[in-house]
Amino acid sequence: MIKNPYPGKFIVFEGLDGSGNSTQAELLKKYLQKKGFKVLLTKEPTQKSLAGKKIRKVLEKKEKTSPFKLQKLFVQDRKEHLRNEILPALKQNKIVISDRYFFSTFAFGAAEGLSLNRLIKLNEKFPFPDLTFILDAKPKTCIQRIEKRGKKKTLFEKEAPLKKTRGFYKIFPKRFKDHKIFLINAEKPIKEVFKEIKKIINKELKNMKTNQIAKIIDHTNIKPEATAKDIKKTCQEAIRFGFRGVCVNPEWVKLAAQELKGSDIKVVVLIDPPIGDSSHKQRVKLCQKAKKDGADEIDIVIPIVDVKHERWAKILKELKEICKILPTKVIIGSGYLTDSEIKKVSEIVKKAGAICVKTSTFKDPLDHFELLEKARHLKIMKEAAPGLLIKAAGKIRTLDDLKMMVQAGADIIGTSSSVQIMEQAQKKPGE
Residues with active-site annotation: 299, 358, 391
Measured CA to CA, the distance from residue 147 to residue 282 in angstroms comes to 70
Question: Considering only CA atoms, which of 194, 254, 241 is closest in space to residue 214?
Answer: 241
DSSP 311-331: -HHHHHHHHHHHHTTS-EEEE
Could you give the residue ranges of the DSSP H alpha helices within 18-111?
A: 21-34, 50-59, 67-81, 87-91, 102-111
Residue 114 neighbours by CB under 8 Å, 6+ apart: 67, 68, 71
Residue 25 neighbours by CB under 8 Å, 6+ apart: 13, 41, 43, 97, 98, 99
Other beta carbons within 10 angstroms of residue 363's beta carbon come to 12
Q: φ and ψ at 11, to 5 degrees?
A: -115, 135
Measured CA to CA, the distance from residue 80 to residue 63 in angstroms comes to 22
* CA-to-CA separations, 304 to 272, 316, 428, in angstroms, rounded: 11, 13, 40
* CA-to-CA separations, 64 to 61, 187, 240, in angstroms, rounded: 7, 32, 53
Question: Considering only CA atoms, which of 351, 360, 355, 348 is closest in space to residue 326?
Answer: 355
